[in-house]
Amino acid sequence: MSTYYLSNHYYPAPLSNAWQLAKLGAVVGMSGAGAVQLRRYRDRQVSREEALAATFKAGLQSGIATGVAGVVAAQFRAPTLSLLATLVSGTAVMYALNQASEEKAP
């Protein structure tokens, strides 16, 4: 984790942290989506290719949302505001990404 120092205070490097959070969000999102898609695949509701595509899509979306939410949350010092900002921004990004993908679907 990269850091920089300003006037004897420790501040995490925001872009480095955002990238780390995005990677973590992608892994968590892919894990959850993978479990759901595996069940759907075993029940013959989707093909293997559809299950893999849905899993990777969910991982990408959750990674983006987590990275953005982390950057927004870092702007607040109060823990309650930081948590609220994380939830609101993460939800907004996921909503926007899902809207964009629904508009592309036939």
Neighbours of 25 (CB within 10 A): 23
d(CA 73, CA 71): 6
Q: Which pLDDT band holds residue 30 (cuts at 50, 70, 90)?
A: very high
Report which of residues 94 and 1 the model is more confident about. 94
Cα 69 versus chain centre, distance: 8
- How large is the greatest C-alpha to C-alpha distance in the chain, in angstroms? 60
pLDDT at 74: 87
- In 3-state terms, what secondary structure has residue 11? strand
Q: Mean pLDDT for the chain?
A: 87
pTM: 0.79
Sign for the CA dihedral angle at 33, 22, 89, 93 comes to negative
Q: Can you give the residue ranges of every domain in the chain?
A: 14-104
Residue 18's pLDDT is: 87
Residue 12 pLDDT grade (very low, low, confident, very high; cuts 50, 70, 90): low
